[in-house]
Amino acid sequence: MFIIPAIDLIEGKCVRLTQGDYSQKTIYNERPIEVAKAFEDAGLTRLHLVDLDGAKAKKVVNWKVLEQIAAYTRLQIDFGGGVQSDDDLRVVFECGAKQVTGGSIAVKNADLFEKWLDNYGGDQIILGADARNERVAVSGWEEGTEIWVYDFVQKWVEKGAKYAISTDVAKDGLLQGPSFELYKNLQDQCPALHIIASGGVSSIADLEKLSEQKIYGVIVGKAIYEGRISLSQLGQHNW
């Protein structure tokens, strides 16, 4: 199981939100490159970089931060937030992202997302499958839908998706544990899918349980920033 630390960006700063609420924002570091280097120094190899400004603006905003982190670390970066057009996608890859996550676009412009999957392949394009009460949530979680998340994921697996990041919005930022049942249901429905769990991780025990569940990867954010899980624990543990 891959441990993937997260950096969420607002106005170029490293922040965390609670349940995707922009009014519940905590700034952890004004220089995200310092955070990224600390992750790398701890032995972590991946990074989940989210442009929250972009998610709100529906276009990529914080591409300069991506470019800086890609230039000064060896972290494999997956980037999400605001990637809504061919130009956005091109900029993000040119700035150094190895993978790009599309969630809202897969709902609102399915033809374009399918084209990206066809052109770049399922190894570079990650499906964002965030859910509230098992219904897909989009646009930085500010909008709900009536789309059943399992049907949504199944549809895109059939069209070539190999990876999906799934956040249970109701769990995110609360440090109350991940949505194990959501991921189990996704595994049962799409056994070949590489599922990346996100939201709610509060302890090493949560990570161990996800590892036992044979989840491909897990994104850890607030638990690191709040000191619930140390970088040394993440770097030294054999998952």
Catalytic residues: 8, 130
| Start-to-end Cα distance in the chain | 6
User: Residue 74 class from Cβ within 10 Å (0-12 exposed, 13-18 middle, 19+ buried)?
Assistant: exposed
Q: List residues bridging with 195 in a β-sheet.
A: 164
Q: Show Cβ contacts of residue 151 under 8 Å, excluding neighbours closer than 6 positions.
A: none
Q: Are strands 76-80 and 99-102 parallel, antiparallel or unpaired?
A: parallel
The residue among 40, 230, 18 whose CA lies nearest residue 141 is 18
User: Residue 9's beta-bridge partner residues?
Assistant: 14, 51
Could you tell me the sign of the dihedral formed by the alpha carbons of 116, 118, 124, 127, in that order? Answer: positive
DSSP letter assigned to residue 194? E
- Taking each helix axis from N to C end, the angle separating 63-72 and 32-41, rounded to the nearest 10 degrees, works out to 30
